[in-house]
Structure 1
Amino acid sequence: MKIAVFVDEQGMTAPLGQPGYVKVYTRDGGGWQTCLQIPFALSASLTLNEIRQRTLTMLADLPQCRHFVAREIHGALLAWLDGMGLTMWQGSGQPEDFLDNIASRIAAVPAPVTPLPQAFIVPGAEKGTFRVDLLAALQGGGSHTSKRLLMPFFEQRNFTSLEILCDHLPKWFSTLNPRELSWTITPAEKGLLTVNVRLVP
C-alpha cells in the first residue's frame, strides 16, 4: 500500500497550495517508510492553467499511488486530484501519526455524494436544458469534487442537456454509460472548455 502526503520543510502535513514536498509512504513490516519525495510548490501568482500543469506533472510521478493526504485541499486542486482517480484525505501533524488510521479506513464505505449547490446550476433557454460553471461550484467551499457534484444530477435524469464550463474533462466521464449520456467538447475563452452533456433518449 502506498499513500502520498504533502508536507512542509519540517516534515509536517501542510495545506496543498504552499511550497513543500509530496512524500510517498509504503508500509514495510510494522512501520512506514518514505519511498519517494517530490518537490511541489504553488503560488497565488500562477494561472489556473499553470496550476493544472504543475499538478498533473506531479501526479504523473506518483507510482501506483491512489491516496493523497494534505491538511487542506480546495477548489480546482480537489477537482483535478479527483479527476485523476485519487482518494483525498485530510491529516495534520507528522504523517506517521495518522497513516495507520488512514490505511484502516481505505476499505471503508465511500462518503455519500454531496448534491450540487443550486446557486451554481442555471436553467437554459429551452425546457430541460441547464448550465453550470464547474470551477465556480468547486471554489464555492466545502469538500465538493466534480464527481460528487455532477453524479446526483446525472442520476436524476430530469434534464435533456447540461452545459458544463470547466478547464478539463474529468477522467471519470469515461465510466459513464454511453447508452444513457453523450457529450461534446468545445473550446471556450481563457483556455476553458464547454462540455455539453446530453441525455440519450
Structure 2
Amino acid sequence: MKIASYVNTHGSVAGFHEKGRICLYEEDPEGGWLKTKEVPLDMNPDLSLSEIKAGIRHAVAHLDDCKVFVVRELRGLLHAVLKEEHGFRTWKSAGSLLEQLDSVARHDRDFVAAQTARAAAGSTCGTPVRHAGCGGGCSPHRSGSTPHQADGGKPESGRPLPMPQPLGNGYYRIDLAEILNNDASLNSKEVLVPFMAGVAFKQLEILCDHPPRWFARELYKLNLAVASEVPDSTGKGFKVLVVPNKDEAVQPD
C-alpha cells in the first residue's frame, strides 16, 4: 500500500496554508514504512486559485498509483481537488504522519473491503450502490486518534435533501462544505440543483471548499449567474453568490 500526505518541516500533517511538501510512503513487506518520494508543493495563500490548483495537479502526477491521502482538514482546496478531481480516498489526521500510517492503512483496507462487499450486494439485488463520497472519491475521515469510515450508503429514494436557509426577501444561504463533510453520500450537484431549479430566489449564498466544476454549464441552463466569488471568513473556503441572470447568457464551452 502507498499513502501520501502534505506534511510540514516537522513531519506532521500540515494545514492548507502551512509551508510543506507531499511525502509518499510505501509499506515495507518486512514491516514499517519507507518514504519513497518527496514532491514540492507551494500552498502560499498569495497564489491565485488557479495557480494552487495547477500546483496540486502537478504534484499528484508524481504520486504513481497512490490513492490514499492523509489531510489535516476535510475542508479546503487541497482536499477538494484530491477527492473530486483525482479520486483519492482521504483520511483526516493530525500529528506525526509516521505514527498514523499503520492505523490509516488498516482502516483504509477495511473501508475498501466494506465498499466491495456493498457493491457485490447491490449487484446481486439489482439496486444501484452509491459511492461513499462525492465526485467519485471516497472520503473516510478521522476523529481523535483513530480513523473511521465516513457515513455512506444511504438509500437514494425517499431521502430528504438539505435545503438552503431562508434569510428573508428571497435571500438564501447554504453551507455546502459542512453538508458534504457531514454526509459523504451526498454530492454538490444533487444538493444545489433541485433548489436552484425549483425555487425563485433573489440571491443564494453558497459556502463551499471550492466552486463546483459543473457550475458554469448548469447555471447557464438555469439562467443563473455567479455575482461574486470570494474567500469565506475562515480563509479555507469560498463564498459564492448566485443570482438570476439578467444579462444575455453566453453558453460555456
> Structure 2 length normalisation: TM-score?
0.51
Residue in 2 aligned with 1:173?
A: none
Counterpart of 1:41, as a letter, is D
Conserved in 2, the CA contact under 8 Å of 1:116 and 1:150? no
C-alpha distance in structure 1 between counterparts of 2:90 and 2:47, whole Å: 23
8 Å Cα contact 2:176-2:188 kept in structure 1:
no
Q: What SS does the corresponding residue of 1:166 show, helix, strand or coil? A: coil
Q: For residues 184 and 71 of structure 1, do their structure 2 counterparts lie closer, same or farther at Cα, with a shift above 3 Å needed?
A: closer
CA distance in structure 1 between the partners assigned to 2:6 and 2:72 by the alignment: 8
Identify which of structures 1 and 2 has the higher relative contact order when contacts are C-alpha pairs closer than 8 Å and 6+ apart. 1
Deviations 1:92-120 (A, max 9, x none): 22222111111111132452259865237
CA contact under 8 A between 1:5 and 1:23: conserved in structure 2?
yes
CA distance in 2, matches of 1:60, 1:185: 31
Contact 1:74/1:141 (<8 A) preserved:
no
Counterpart for residue 100 of structure 2: 98
Rounded Cα–Cα distance in structure 2 between residues aligned with 1:27 and 1:95: 13
Runs of 5+ consecutive residues of structure 1 not aligned to the other structure: 122-130, 171-182, 195-201
- Inter-partner Cα distance in structure 2 for 1:8 and 1:145: 29
CA distance, structure 2, for counterparts of residue 150 and residue 142 of structure 1 = 7
Return the alpha-carbon distance in structure 1 between the equivalents of residues 97 and 188 of structure 2: 32
Aligned to 1:166: 211
Q: 2:151 aligns with which of 88, 112, 115?
A: 112
Does the Cα contact within 8 Å between 2:5 and 2:70 map onto a contact in 1? yes
The 8 Å contact of residues 5 and 24 in structure 1, kept in 2 or not, is answered as yes
Structure 1 counterpart SS, 2:181: coil
> What is the number of equivalent residue pairs in this alignment?
169
Alpha-carbon offset, residue 169 of structure 1? 4.4
Q: CA deviation at 1:159?
A: 7.6
In 2: Cα distance, 1:55 partner to 1:120 partner:
33
**CA-to-aligned-CA distance 1:60-91 (integer Å, 9 cap, x gap):** 22111111112224233322111110111122
- Calculate percent identity across the aligned residue pairs: 25
TM alignment of 1:23-34, pairs within 5 A = 23-29=23-29, 30-34=31-35
Structure with greater Cα Rg: 2
Residue of structure 2 in register with 1:12 after alignment: 12
- Superimposed CA distance per residue, residues 120-163 of structure 1 (whole angstroms, 9 cap, x where no aligned partner): 79xxxxxxxxx998xx733x687369973337649xx978958x
Distance 1:15 1:159, change over 3 A: closer
Cα distance in 1 between the residues matched to 2:212 and 2:93: 28
Structure 1 CA distance for aligned equivalents of residues 161 and 21 of structure 2 = 32
> Quick one: distance in 2 between partners of 1:57 and 1:142?
26
Paired AA for residue 51 in structure 2 = E
Paired residue for 1:89? 91
Q: For the residues of structure 1 that align with 2:82 and 2:9, how far apart are their CA atoms?
A: 23
Q: For residues 145 and 53 of structure 1, do their structure 2 counterparts lie closer, same or farther at Cα, with a shift above 3 Å needed?
A: farther
Equivalent-residue separation in structure 2 for 1:102 and 1:39 (angstroms): 23
Q: Is the CA contact (8 Å cut-off) linking 1:7 and 1:14 kept in structure 2?
A: yes
Residue identity in the other structure for 1:66: K
Aligned pairs for 1:35-184 within 5 A: 35-83=36-84, 84-106=86-108, 107-108=110-111, 109=114, 110-113=149-152, 117-119=162-164, 137-138=176-177, 143=181, 148-150=186-188, 153=191, 166=211, 168-169=213-214
TM (norm. structure 1) is 0.63
Distance (whole Å) between structure 1 residues aligned to residue 16 and residue 27 of structure 2: 23
